[in-house]
Structure 1
């Protein structure tokens, strides 16, 4: 009896992967590869590193599929967490973060930004961005996911539905609910 891997549930795919069914890994990659690449790219900002991270995550899935625990997280959450962790590890390894000691206060000057805004305006805008990111982080993952794709990646509703393999109506509902929650949290 052959298995229809593309229509198999995520947890069952992991069981097949744990039993070394390569077709199951391929189906999981088809389902989540673009999402994990997007997460990695968003964190590292480099196409080659994002591809490397994505492939490394799927290599780890192949090696450790039996370590997945359904009572702790959904498969999607497990995969995105591995991707985030791998991206952070890679950034640390590559030394992308600037050294704090390399900045000299004597070298810094306060000048208006190129766009004409004062430093106060820039600080205010940065604080607003931080509030938005914090509010996004408090949303349920399924709402975060569609909002990030829609507003930070510029995807259309139908592109999001295609990428996440879900009905268009579900995408629209999640965006609407997420926006309503953000408005409540971000109102002055």
Structure 2
């Protein structure tokens, strides 16, 4: 769902310019540029990671990995691919899902109740939603609610629970091609609806 919220955020041109300047400095080996980028987007990255992995120490490790990757790849960033914050959050999502997949390959925890605590849902308002204004939040919620149930379910499983398309297909007992089509069409409808609502 964080991705849908991001789609509604109109990235301020000044903030994007500052992010690009920080990335240029990072590419030149300036650690202060990385600190500046972390100060602006570290909390959003942590919030997203925590929402996916549901473990504070793992979320912290994900954020560290993301900013190390930003340090290494700053020179290769292309502004035509979108805002810097979106790039960082996509890396955060990918790293978080990688951790979930790794965790699934491990044997279950002992029956000491730790697994129950770890799987409790996070009731806090995600940081990315806190960044949105009331009008933007309502536009995203309305657009998501207006999707056909099959599209909304597939999108929520993929983006909120971090499942791959194949895992969504298995969970919904639907062909992989059908799931991919539902997610693609749903995202296109969301983009159009949010754009109209915020225009």
Q: So what's the TM-score if we normalise by structure 1?
A: 0.55
| Paired position in structure 2 for 1:153 | 124
* 8 A contact 2:16–2:83 mirrored in 1: no
Structure 2 residue aligned with 1:49, among 49, 58, 73?
58
Task: Supply the distance in 2 between the matched residues of 1:70 and 1:8 (Cα, whole angstroms).
Answer: 10
In the other structure, the counterpart of 2:158 is none
In the TM superposition, residue 34 of structure 1 has moved relative to its aligned partner by 0.8
Shift in alpha-carbon separation, 1:70–1:152, aligned structure 2, 3 A: farther
Structure with larger Rg:
1
When normalised by structure 2's length, the TM-score is 0.53
Q: How does 1:108-119 map to 2 (within 5 A)?
A: none
- Superposed CA deviations along residues 12-36 of structure 1, whole A, max 9, x for unmatched, are 1111111111111111101111111
1: CA distance, partners of 2:123 / 2:79: 29
Q: Does 1:96 align with 2:104?
A: yes
Contact 2:42 2:63 in 1 (8 A): yes
Which structure has more relative contact order (CA 8 Å, sep 6+)? It is 2
Q: Which runs of 5+ in 1 are unaligned?
A: 1-5, 103-150, 162-169
Are residues 156 and 13 of structure 1, via their aligned partners in 2, closer, same or farther at CA, if it must alter by over 3 Å? closer
SS at match of 2:69: helix
- Give structure 2 stretches of 5+ with no counterpart: 1-14, 109-121, 150-199
For 1:176, the equivalent position in structure 2 comes to: 138
Runs of 4+ in structure 1 displaced over 4 angstroms?
none
What do residues 8-66 of structure 1 show as CA deviations (whole Å, max 9, x unaligned)?
61111111111111111111101111111111111111110000010111111111111
CA RMSD in angstroms comes to 3.2
Q: Give the Cα–Cα distance (whole angstroms) in 2 for the partners of residues 29 and 57 of structure 1.
A: 10
